[in-house]
Copies of this chain bind each other. A is one copy, B any other.
């Protein structure tokens, strides 16, 4: 297995990326996982030396350019073909790596995912998901969290299936319970999108739909996968992340439950519905976040979740 990681993406890269690699190597002992560190080679080599990060499984791939946060995604990817993100997608598309991770320009990551490795056949719109910590101890998935701000019912119906397959193969949930994010419990409630989506989910034989869930149900283990448009999902994601800020403000950030709201424990946001594993990190990713993204990438490759999604969609 070969995993590629953009060493230059994120506010605290490449230092935190190197530290994340160090954490990953310490806890991971699978000799079959090669890590390709993509970025400015001299900088990466010197940081790896400085932090005594060494392993025969580490390979540095030189990519001298960096796509900045405020660059236009499509334009930057086209012009900066030697940037770490562009090189990562070239390696992914050519099969030299099996998964690609970056905490860099989110737009460029999404454009790269859609145009270098492409959406799977039958998938109208790829999506991005995040995990949410449930009070019961387990985790649920929220999808879409910002890739598709405007959605149609058929998009949400597909997000439900994509989320269901991810929950099954990555989160280990048998027969995941799918909930539609809505403003009331009963069928018929909601805006036009939710009203039109409900019957599609209800009649979707590939998922286990349990009905509507409301804002108060995000952390109460009511559903394993919570489906909504990317506008609502992004607002909820950022609000949920701010719960950790509130805890910090009150001096209780070490509470084991509030800890779980810290972005670093998420392990990045997977892009679902594309041919290969792509994981997008938070701009402020620290060592732990990078380490968790590497672990998630390994899991996504090992479980062949993308292949399973492909099979499921082509059988529909």
A residues 225-260 near B (Cβ < 8 Å) are 228-232, 234-243, 245-246, 249-250, 252, 255, 257-258
Q: Please pick, from B218, B228, B240, B255, the residue contacting A250 in the complex, using a CB distance under 8 A.
A: B255
User: Are B191 and A150 touching (Cβ within 8 A)?
Assistant: yes
Which B residues touch A52, using CB under 8 A? none
User: Are B238 and A235 touching (Cβ within 8 A)?
Assistant: no
> Could you give, for residues 96-114 of chain A, a 1 whenever the CB lies within 8 Å of some chain B CB and a 0 otherwise?
0000000000000000000
Please, how many angstroms separate the alpha-carbon atoms of A149 and B255 in the complex? 36
A57 to chain B, nearest CB (A): 37
Please, how many angstroms separate the alpha-carbon atoms of A192 and B258 in the complex? 34
Please, how many angstroms separate the alpha-carbon atoms of A249 and B234 in the complex? 25
A residues 175-223 near B (Cβ < 8 Å) are 181, 183, 190-192, 194, 214-220
Whether A239 contacts B236 in the complex (CB less than 8 A), given A149-B183, A194-B231, A250-B255, comes out as yes
A residues 246-286 near B (Cβ < 8 Å) are 246, 249-250, 252, 255, 257-258
Interface membership of A153, Cβ < 8 A: no
Interface membership of A9, Cβ < 8 A: no
Interface membership of A146, Cβ < 8 A: yes
User: Are A149 and B190 touching (Cβ within 8 A)?
Assistant: yes
Please, how many angstroms separate the alpha-carbon atoms of A18 and B185 in the complex? 30
Tell me how many chains of this kind the complex includes: 2
Q: Please pick, from B190, B218, B231, B250, the residue contacting A239 in the complex, using a CB distance under 8 A.
A: B218
User: Are A192 and B150 touching (Cβ within 8 A)?
Assistant: yes
User: Are A135 and B231 touching (Cβ within 8 A)?
Assistant: no
Q: Please pick, from B229, B238, B252, the residue contacting A252 in the complex, using a CB distance under 8 A.
A: B252
Please, how many angstroms separate the alpha-carbon atoms of A80 and B235 in the complex? 41
User: Are A246 and B257 touching (Cβ within 8 A)?
Assistant: yes
User: Are B149 and A235 touching (Cβ within 8 A)?
Assistant: no
Given contacts A146-B183, A235-B235, A252-B255, 16 further A-B pairs with CB under 8 A are A149-B183, A149-B192, A150-B191, A215-B237, A215-B238, A216-B241, A217-B242, A219-B245, A220-B245, A228-B235, A232-B235, A236-B239, A243-B246, A246-B257, A249-B257, A250-B252
Q: List 27 A-B contacts (CB under 8 A).
A: A135-B249, A146-B183, A149-B194, A150-B192, A183-B230, A183-B231, A183-B234, A183-B235, A190-B231, A191-B229, A194-B231, A215-B237, A215-B238, A216-B238, A216-B239, A219-B242, A219-B245, A219-B246, A220-B245, A232-B235, A236-B239, A239-B240, A243-B246, A249-B257, A250-B252, A250-B255, A250-B258
